[in-house]
DNA sequence: AAAATAGTGTCTTTGAGACAGTATACT
DNA sequence: AGTATACTGTCTCAAAGACACTATTTT
């Protein structure tokens, strides 16, 4: 949503000053068909933004990044970070830029199997109901980012207030209270968050994506606590250990051990090359 | 993509004549932040379209609906159907409208568990790379539609040429030939088609969506041939029968039988209420 | 010693894959 | 009769769930 554009004001011509737009301007619909210049007002006026569902696991709870809105509408309410897509920018690039501005995280290019510590970033869905922003017609391409637990939300950019909020409380409030409640998320962000959380919950079943919530090196117990936090369940540590260590390419031992959880020292692993888990790690039934 | 807008010209103010736009117009970015009118040219000029990947199974092959472009760019090339999102229209509504114009199919509201013969329609992904349409910046929200085998592609609307094309050939051409080949799909539609096909292939694994390819009443053998066509494999008829009839809520016997495939008469079923298959019907390994 | 976490092993049940065999139509 | 499709049953193997037991640390 458009919500957060106030924190990232769009500056026309910022990286292509002087009207040298790559996109040409046409006069009319019929002229457009013939490849001739046209009047942009002949098309419905759309603004295109990206919104981010940034998820992490903090103290055994799934949390998402929210920013407090400084302006109307929804002034003082929490919202997902986001901003305008620029003139010469692809949608994924806009999302990666917003993520970096908000958290300092580099986005992990999904095509390159990079072993770096970049965050996972993928497109989630697009929201464009006519009334979702009361000011104008805004189409928002929501993205989902998964990150390890970060030191602290760094108030970079022009966001006046940023924090990690537990997803469960946020969604409980969204459904329990009326949309006008000051606790509810701005715009349709509760729906976007809900869709993002469901995507993450289902995707860690059949992919190795849960490692995106972990630091570069982690133990089996830490990975299990990620699954438990994201799904909101408890898993049998023994069966979990057998499953993840028995899936080829999922985990690679680094040789080191750690005792940061107390108890017997645990082997350290890093994410293996496998991206798809077959057979999948199924969520326990309800 | 914007490709097909020529077939569905956008008529400004068509359903809200006389400048009574619901979306207000603002003067500048800073003014926008304060809720004041602004100049739309202060934002990057985006056109928003919907494109459709309409899939069906015809004569044991997965096919998709393509239309021939009458204008530049990509004149004479095949493209996915699509068109502009209107001023007061939600994204899904725009996709449903295009689907009805192109095929006469009513879209099946995913929220309502309707037993009607509407087609399944869901959002797929959004494509917005700056250069994807050489004329202007266009963001396309692609949708995926699944339909039973239709009588014949009805050349409704203003499409001059419409046909069902086998997906396999279309994608083979897209990757084998250079993008400038006259057999290749226009714009980035090969990518969109590929993403849509992969979505369908994976989604029939864990949902009852394969029934969307079938008429209201169908046999187990017909449903199996749907899986075989979509996945491009052959399945053991006996194990398949055991699996689908043993999954509660997947299939409901109607009492009738048919012999339209030759051989022993088969029981007729309709889709049950279950939408998620648990455990899933896994694709055979490669 | 007690408690906490890590890791291995064993038993049972579920379900997928392979395939034998029977039933009922059409040619 | 021969063939095509529909349907049932049986055997085997892979993997998930439940849970006993051992190992190594901190308090």
**A12 interfacial to chain B (CB closer than 8 Å):** yes
From the CA of B207 to the C1' of D2: give the distance in Å: 40
Query: pLDDT tens digits, residue range B231-278?
Result: 999 999 999 999 999 999 999 999 999 988 889 999 999 999 999 999
Phi/psi for B264 (5° steps) reads: -60, 135
Pairwise CA distance, residues B238 & A180, whole Å: 55
pLDDT at residue B44 tops 80: no
Residues 6+ apart with CB under 8 A from B27: B36, B37, B38, B39, B42
**B111 interfacial to chain A (CB closer than 8 Å):** no
**A93 interfacial to chain B (CB closer than 8 Å):** no
pLDDT at residue A117 tops 80: no
User: Tokens 């072993």 label which residue?
Assistant: A115
Query: pLDDT tens digits, residue range A214-251?
Result: 999 999 999 999 999 999 999 999 999 999 999 999 99
Q: Which nucleotides of D are covered by protein (CB under 7 A)?
A: 3-10, 15-21, 23-27
Strand partners, B125: B142
pLDDT at residue A259 tops 90: no
Lowest mean pLDDT among A209-218, B139-148, B152-161, B202-211: B152-161
Phi/psi for A211 (5° steps) reads: -65, -20
Pairwise CA distance, residues A258 & A266, whole Å: 5
Pairwise CA distance, residues A285 & A282, whole Å: 9
Residue A111 is predicted with a pLDDT of 60
Whether B71 sits inside 8 A of A33 (CB atoms) is yes
Residue A279: pLDDT band with limits 50, 70, 90: very high
Task: Mark which residues 37-66 of B lie under 8 Å from A by CB.
Answer: 40-48
Pairwise CA distance, residues A41 & B170, whole Å: 36
From the CA of A238 to the C1' of C8: give the distance in Å: 9
Residue A152 is predicted with a pLDDT of 62
- Give the mean pLDDT of chain A: 83
Residue nearest to nucleotide C17 (CA to C1'): B239
What residues of B are in contact with residue A12 (Cβ under 8 Å)?
A: 29, 41-44
Sign of CA dihedral B93, B88, A79, B42: positive
pLDDT at residue B12 tops 90: no
From the CA of A242 to the C1' of D12: give the distance in Å: 23
Residues 6+ apart with CB under 8 A from A112: none
Residue B62: pLDDT band with limits 50, 70, 90: very high
**B205 interfacial to chain A (CB closer than 8 Å):** no
Pairwise CA distance, residues B68 & B162, whole Å: 7
**C-alpha A127, offset from chain centre:** 15
pTM: 0.86
pLDDT at residue B7 tops 80: no
Whether A141 sits inside 8 A of B126 (CB atoms) is yes
Q: Which of A187, A198, A197, A227 is nearest to A211 (CA)?
A: A227
Which domains does chain A show, CATH number per domain? 4-42 (no CATH), 47-203 (3.90.79.10), 207-271 (1.10.10.10)
Pairwise CA distance, residues A157 & A98, whole Å: 9
- Give the mean pLDDT of chain B: 83
Pairwise CA distance, residues A12 & A251, whole Å: 46
- Using only C-alpha atoms, chain B has a radius of gyration, in whole angstroms, of 21
What residues of A are in contact with residue B12 (Cβ under 8 Å)?
A: 29, 41-44
**Closest Cα in chain A, distance from residue B130 (Å):** 6
How are beta strands A119-127 and A138-146 bridged, if at all? antiparallel
Tokens of B116: 């009607």
**Closest Cα in chain B, distance from residue A9 (Å):** 7
Mutation target among B9, B46, B143 for the A interface, most CBs of A within 10 A:
B46
Query: pLDDT tens digits, residue range A180-189?
Result: 777 899 999 9
Tokens of B11: 């008529």
Residue A213 is predicted with a pLDDT of 97
Q: Which nucleotides of C are covered by protein (CB under 7 A)?
A: 3-10, 15-21, 23-26
Query: pLDDT tens digits, residue range B205-216?
Result: 999 999 999 999
Pairwise CA distance, residues A115 & A106, whole Å: 13
Nucleotide nearest to A220 (CA to C1'): C6
Inter-residue contact B107 to B99 (CB < 8 Å): yes
Residue B81 is predicted with a pLDDT of 97
Q: For Cα atoms B117, B202, A106, give the angle at the middle one, nearest 5 degrees.
A: 125
How are beta strands A47-58 and A61-68 bridged, if at all? antiparallel
Tokens of B29: 């970015």
Q: Which residues touch strand D (CB under 7 A)?
A: A 236, 238-239, 243, 259, 262-265, 279, 281-282, 284; B 219-222, 237-239, 241-242, 245, 257, 261-267
Inter-residue contact A102 to A83 (CB < 8 Å): no
Q: Which of B283, B230, B214 is nearest to B53 (CA)?
A: B230
H/E run at residue A163: strand A162-166
Instruction: Tell me the residue length of chain B.
Output: 286
Query: pLDDT tens digits, residue range A143-187?
Result: 999 999 986 665 555 556 899 999 999 999 888 777 677 789 999
């Amino acid at each position: 949503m458009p919500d957060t554009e106030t924190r990232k004001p769009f500056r026309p011509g910022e990286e292509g000053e002087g009207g040298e737009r790559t996109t040409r301007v046409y006069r009319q619909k019929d002229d457009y068909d013939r490849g001739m210049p046209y009047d942009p007002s002949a098309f419905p006026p759309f603004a295109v933004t990206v919104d981010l569902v940034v998820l992490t696991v903090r103290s055994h709870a799934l949390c998402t990044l929210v920013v407090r809105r400084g302006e109307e509408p929804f002034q003082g309410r929490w919202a997902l970070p986001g901003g305008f897509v620029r003139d010469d920018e692809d949608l994924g690039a806009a999302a990666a830029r917003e993520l970096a501005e908000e958290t300092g995280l580099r986005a992990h290019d999904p095509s390159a199997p990079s072993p770096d510590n970049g965050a996972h970033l993928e497109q989630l869905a697009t929201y464009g109901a006519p009334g979702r922003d009361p000011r104008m017609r805004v189409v928002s391409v929501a993205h989902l980012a998964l990150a390890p637990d970060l030191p602290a939300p760094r108030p970079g950019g022009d966001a006046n207030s940023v924090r990690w909020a537990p997803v469960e409380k946020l969604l409980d409030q969204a459904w329990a209270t009326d949309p006008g409640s000051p606790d509810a998320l701005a715009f349709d962000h509760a729906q976007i968050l809900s869709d993002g959380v469901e995507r993450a919950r289902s995707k860690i079943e059949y992919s190795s994506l849960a490692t995106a919530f972990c630091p570069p090196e982690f133990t089996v117990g830490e990975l299990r606590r990620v699954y438990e936090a994201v799904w909101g369940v408890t898993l049998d540590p023994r069966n979990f250990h057998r499953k993840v260590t028995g899936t080829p390419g999922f985990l690679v031992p680094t040789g080191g051990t750690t005792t940061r959880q107390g108890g017997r020292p645990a082997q350290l692993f890093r994410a293996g090359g496998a991206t798809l888990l077959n057979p999948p790690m199924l969520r326990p039934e309800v």
